């Protein structure tokens, strides 16, 4: 009974159409409903899913490949497994069932692969979730075009080598590099703007190791037959492979892209494998003259039979290819005597393999099992055509899925590794060799661990020894410089403040521990920084300065500028400082608050009425008043020379330098005035003016009635009086 794949996997992936199928797996277009992205899901074919060893390795290795994150490697997002549904589920209308699982039917009599029957329905079938790509495989591109342009061939090869350099660095060897496993993406706007060919992605990491462990011999249908054209000589011999094996396969692919045909071809995979072991390829320029000698040298170096004669890393290969594309010749290293012997040995191995294949009905010996596959009535053929430069269409390889993890065996039990072995003696020998290797490896690890432990104990003791340094001298240097000096010695610093009469504010006074003391490196030293003297004297030159200036000077000294109040002052302009509180010249504690006394630009008018003229003028020109005087006279009942009226009332605040008008009595009308002494020059001048007016008044007494308009005179503060302010 056929099995079906559920339409929804892991309650997340919704499967759609089949977009690819091969001997190893079937690929479905799908949607990740959780993230809303298009993906491709590769489902293992049922005949492989039936094998527990294959399932376990498929799962483990797929998870390992998921760690590879490179722009030239197809990304693996997730892995899982499912139980296939019966065919009846679809017939009963079960919406969870989708297309039937492809089952590989026996093609030849005695073929060990069988379709999954109903009794195996409970087996878990593993799958891999990958990124969905849009493009065409390099295999399809070569089938369509034959040879590629030199630029495209070099670009694709360089991208493949970039991917392999990354995977080799992470311990992953592909083991099945071939055109079918290289996807050429659609050319996007970025490629066009940069003038570069399409980008490529290397596919199918992670399955070849499992296939190698469980598959039948080299010529087995749907196993490694399709890759024979691209395998390295060591793969054909069944030897252990390494990163240089992948580089050989890249050389074959590059050869085919340049020449339009692979370096070796034959009707069976055994024949092709023998050519890889024994024959030297012709240079690509033999089939395509425009291929340069430099490119010939690079390709032939990659196709050396002995690994030591090839490029030793993907980076070396890429560097040589890049130089060759610019016309720089990279010579292939000459084969040593050992290499020549290896080539001869390879020829013998190939001949023996071909003879054995003939004796066993076309089957090649299986080096992993120590025996041969079942008899077959005919040799397996290579079944897919490729297009050569001349238009011929020989056969191409069959597409498959592949990959390799060198350390995969370490994860499996002996039962898992050997349950499918056909030759128990070979298995026993392998187990003994493995045991000896493990014992030697364990001894080496033990010695290394003991050496590492001893080194750790020694260096931990040495490194834990305290290191002592001297505390540097930092007295009377700035705080920043002192901290830098201490930290340069490997010391930590904490800062405290203190007063000092001799060290300016902001400079270092001392350290604790004191300078010259030896202390452990990375210990803490206290740095004492001066805040200036403990007591400060308020300057005496603040009068007449601006408020902002006085505040800044106080703060520089270490004092706090406090609140302000205003007072009258005869000469200091409004807003300017008159005094401080405490007063200027007094001593205060460092950090004390000093309030400011500001001028309001006004003075208080003194009481003038009742004073004599000279007394009134003296009061107005006093150093604490400094007001101008204007004198008017008139007859009154008050004694002559007495101030009987003033223009601004006593204690009224007027602006600095204002003029105050005083009215001086001339006595009753008709009386004769006598001059009174003048206390000041200004007063004398006023008196002389008044006398002159009086004389004039007396001369015209007959014409001017008493009580006519009063006479006026003025007096201003003398310069000496102004300076006193």
Share of the chain above pLDDT 90, in %: 42
> Per CATH, is 468-530 categorized as 3.30.10.20?
yes
Cβ 156 vs Cβ 148: under 8 Å:
yes
Mean pLDDT rounded to a whole number for the chain: 76
State which CATH number among 1.10.510.10, 3.40.50.150, 3.40.50.300, 2.40.50.180 fits the domain covering 135-214+226-334: 1.10.510.10
- pLDDT top residue among 359 and 240: 240
Does 42 appear as a known binding residue? Answer: yes
Q: What is the pLDDT of residues 8-60, one digit of tens each?
A: 999 999 999 998 887 678 899 999 999 999 999 998 887 778 888 777 767 76
Q: Which residue has the higher pLDDT, 102 or 420?
A: 102
| pLDDT value at 472 more than 80 | yes
- Residue with the bigger pLDDT between 297 and 707: it is 297
Residue 447: Cβ-neighbour burial (10 angstroms; 0-12, 13-18, 19+)? exposed
Is pLDDT above 50 for 449? yes
- Tally Cβ neighbours within 10 Å of residue 22: 18
**What confidence tens digit (pLDDT) does each residue in 373-413 have?**
333 333 333 334 333 334 444 333 333 333 333 333 333 34
Q: Strand locations in 49-124, DSSP E?
A: 76-82, 85-86, 97-100
Taking residues 571-576, what's their average pLDDT? Answer: 92
The encoded tokens of residue 2 equal: 């056929």
The yes/no answer on whether domain 1-86+123-132 falls in CATH 3.30.200.20 is: yes
Secondary element (H or E) of residue 565: strand 560-567
204 is catalytic: no
Catalytic residue (one of 78, 152, 159, 176): 176
Give Dmax (Cα) for the chain. 175
> Measured between alpha carbons, how far is 609 from 618 in angstroms, rounded to an integer?
13
Classified by CATH at the fold level, domain 603-665 comes out as Trypsin Inhibitor V; Chain A (3.30.10)
Which residue intervals of the chain bear CATH 3.30.10.20?
468-530, 535-600, 603-665
pTM, entire model:
0.46
CA distances from 126 to 66, 253, 298, 576 (A): 15, 30, 40, 93
Q: Where in the chain is the domain with CATH 1.10.510.10?
A: 135-214+226-334
DSSP calls for 157-220: HHHHHHHHHHHHHTT---S---GGGEEEEPP-HHHHHHT----EEE---SSHHHHHHH---TT-
Peptide bond just before 354 cis, omega within 30 deg: no
Greater pLDDT, 113 or 544:
544
Residues of the chain with CATH 3.30.200.20: 1-86+123-132
Q: pLDDT band for 206, please (50, 70, 90 cuts).
A: low
- Tens-digit pLDDT profile for residues 656-698: 889 999 999 998 886 555 444 444 444 444 455 555 555 544 4
pLDDT of residue 312: 94
Asked whether the predicted pLDDT for residue 369 surpasses 90, the reply is: no
Alpha-carbon distance of 526 to 482, in angstroms, equals: 11
Domain 535-600 is found in CATH 3.40.109.10? no
């Amino acid at each position: 009974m056929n099995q079906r794949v559920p339409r929804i996997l892991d309650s997340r992936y919704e499967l759609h159409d089949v977009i690819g199928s091969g001997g190893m797996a079937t690929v479905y277009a799908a949607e990740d409903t959780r993230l809303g992205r298009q993906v491709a899901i590769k489902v293992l074919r049922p005949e492989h899913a039936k094998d527990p060893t294959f399932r376990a390795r498929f799962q483990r290795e797929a998870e390992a490949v998921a760690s590879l994150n490179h722009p030239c490697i197809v990304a693996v997002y997730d892995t899982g497994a499912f139980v296939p549904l019966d065919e009846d589920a679809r017939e009963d209308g079960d919406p969870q069932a989708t297309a039937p699982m492809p089952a590989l039917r026996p093609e030849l009599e005695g073929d060990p692969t069988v379709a999954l029957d109903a009794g195996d329905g409970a087996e878990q079938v593993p799958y891999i979730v990958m990124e969905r790509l849009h493009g065409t495989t390099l295999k399809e591109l070569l089938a369509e075009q034959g040879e590629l342009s030199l630029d495209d061939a070099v670009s694709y090869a360089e991208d493949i080598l970039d991917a392999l350099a990354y995977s080799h660095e992470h311990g992953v060897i592909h083991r099945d590099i071939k055109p079918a496993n290289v996807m050429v993406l659609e050319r996007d706007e970025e490629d066009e703007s940069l003038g570069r060919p399409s980008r490529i992605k290397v596919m199918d990491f992670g399955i070849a190791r499992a296939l190698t462990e469980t598959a039948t011999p080299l010529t087995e249908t749907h196993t490694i037959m399709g890759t024979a054209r691209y395998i390295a000589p060591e793969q054909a011999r069944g030897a252990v492979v390494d990163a240089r094996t992948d580089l050989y396969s890249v050389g074959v692919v590059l050869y085919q892209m340049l020449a339009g045909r692979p370096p070796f071809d034959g009707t069976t995979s055994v024949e092709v494998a023998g050519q890889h072991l024994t024959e030297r390829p012709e240079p690509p320029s033999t089939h395509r003259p425009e291929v340069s000698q430099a490119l010939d040298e690079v390709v032939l170096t990659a196709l050396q039979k002995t690994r030591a004669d090839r490029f030793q890393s993907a980076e070396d290969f890429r560097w040589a290819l890049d130089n060759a594309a610019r016309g720089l010749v990279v010579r292939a290293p000459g084969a040593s005597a050992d290499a020549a012997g290896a080539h001869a040995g390879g020829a013998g191995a190939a001949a023996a393999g071909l003879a054995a294949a003939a004796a066993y009905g076309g089957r090649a010996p299986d080096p992993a099992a120590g025996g041969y596959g079942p008899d077959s009535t005919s040799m397996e053929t290579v079944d897919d055509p490729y297009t050569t430069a001349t238009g011929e269409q020989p056969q191409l390889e069959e597409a498959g899925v592949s990959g390799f993890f060198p350390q995969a065996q370490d994860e499996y039990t002996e039962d898992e590794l050997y349950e499918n072995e056909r030759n128990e003696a070979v298995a026993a020998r392998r187990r003994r060799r493995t045991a000896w290797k493990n014992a030697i490896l364990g001894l080496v690890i033990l010695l290394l661990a003991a050496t590492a432990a001893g080194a750790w104990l020694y260096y931990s003791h040495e490194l834990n020894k305290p290191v002592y340094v001297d505390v540097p001298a930092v007295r009377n240097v700035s705080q920043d410089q002192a901290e830098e000096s201490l930290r340069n010695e490997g010391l930590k610093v904490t800062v405290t403040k203190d007063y000092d009469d001799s060290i300016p504010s902001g400079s270092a006074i001392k350290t604790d521990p004191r300078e010259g003391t030896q202390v452990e490196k990375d210990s803490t030293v206290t740095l004492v920084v001066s805040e200036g003297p403990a007591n400060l004297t308020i300057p005496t030159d603040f009068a007449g300065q601006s408020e902002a200036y006085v505040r800044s000077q106080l703060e520089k000294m270490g004092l706090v500028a406090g609140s302000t109040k205003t007072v009258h002052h005869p000469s200091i302009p409004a807003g300017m400082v008159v005094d401080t509180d405490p007063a200027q010249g007094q001593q205060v504690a460092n950090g004390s608050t000093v309030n400011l006394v500001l001028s309001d630009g006004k003075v208080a008018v003194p009481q003038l009425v009742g004073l004599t003229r000279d007394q009134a003028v003296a009061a107005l020109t006093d150093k604490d008043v400094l007001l101008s005087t204007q004198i008017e006279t008139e007859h009154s009942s008050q004694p002559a020379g007495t101030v009987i009226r003033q223009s601004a009332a006593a204690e009224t605040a007027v602006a600095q330098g204002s003029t105050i008008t005083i009215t001086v009595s001339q006595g009753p009308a008709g009386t004769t005035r006598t001059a009174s002494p003048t206390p000041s020059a200004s007063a004398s001048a006023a008196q002389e003016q008044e006398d002159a007016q009086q004389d004039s008044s007396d001369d015209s007494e007959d014409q001017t009635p008493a009580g006519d308009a009063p006479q006026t005179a003025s007096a201003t503060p003398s310069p000496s009086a102004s300076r006193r302010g």
